[in-house]
Amino acid sequence: MKNIFIGNLSFATTEETIRSLFETHGAVERVGIVTDRETGKPRGFGFVEMTNGTEGDQAIAALNGRDLDGRTLDVNEAHPKVERPRTRG
């Protein structure tokens, strides 16, 4: 399993568009576009999980820097979220 980060997405880009783009490189398990908790609007990035790691690496190499919906994609391997201490302000 390969978890892939996709940045610089257009707010008009859909999960279906991303799935179609990545499926040309292999089997896609899951696609998710991150949205703002309060407004529900897309935040301009998302994640794709691909079943096969090698296919995921090939998708990263092929799609990083590619234009989609007028934006240049930033595609690379996702890293685990780092927990940060909460601060009170």
Q: What is the DSSP letter of 38?
A: T
Q: Are 12 and 79 in contact (CB under 8 A)?
A: no
Residue 81 phi/psi, 5-degree rounding, is: -65, 135
Domain 2-34+46-72 top-level CATH class: alpha beta
How does the average pLDDT of the chain come out, rounded? Answer: 94
Query: pTM here?
Result: 0.87
Query: For residue range 29-58, what is the model confidence (pLDDT) as tens digits?
Result: 999 999 999 999 999 999 999 999 999 999
Give the pLDDT confidence score for residue 12 in this predicted structure.
94
Backbone angles phi, psi at 9, to 5 degrees: -75, 145
